[in-house]
Amino acid sequence: MFPLPRRLVGAMIVSLSFFAPGILAAHAAVSTSSSVSILSKFSGLNVFESCPSKCYPPDVQVAAGPNHIGEMVNLALRVFLKDGTIVKTKMLSTLFNVGNDSISDPKLLYDAPSQRWFASLVDVTTNSVKMAVSAGNDPTVDAWKT
């Protein structure tokens, strides 16, 4: 085995915390020890809220920034404060300015050095990958660049 960078380990821990369906957990910063503390847990965006036609399987992505937790499930992005308060829900078709009939595999990442949120998805209709970058560290601001 090889050591993983702390940033990657922290992102993996937040992502892995979602495997309990419908539950998000905000974790403390990764320290040199192997212990992680759960600060809060709350219900996340579920597949039926994000895709009324019951998309299967749910494509779940979770990322944590300095003040927010972002979650993408199939066709929607939901932003929470770290205590679980819902701040904003946005359809991915609006964020990426595409139709929602053939989009798939959303991805979400917060990059601490650039203080930006990065999102992507596959547009099956145009056989392309779409990307969006937030204007800053607040994912609720509508000034994402696509």
What 3-state class would DSSP assign to 92? helix
Q: β-strands 86-91, 103-111: how paired? A: unpaired
Each domain of the chain, given as residue ranges in start order, spans 6-133
d(CA 17, CA 49): 20
Nearest to 110 by CA among 141, 76, 143, 67: 67
- pLDDT band at residue 67 using 50, 70 and 90 as cut-offs: very high
Residue 106 has pLDDT above 90, yes or no: yes
74/46: higher pLDDT: 74
pTM, whole model, 2 decimals? 0.71
By percentage, how much of the chain surpasses pLDDT 90? 44
- pLDDT band at residue 57 using 50, 70 and 90 as cut-offs: confident
DSSP 136: S
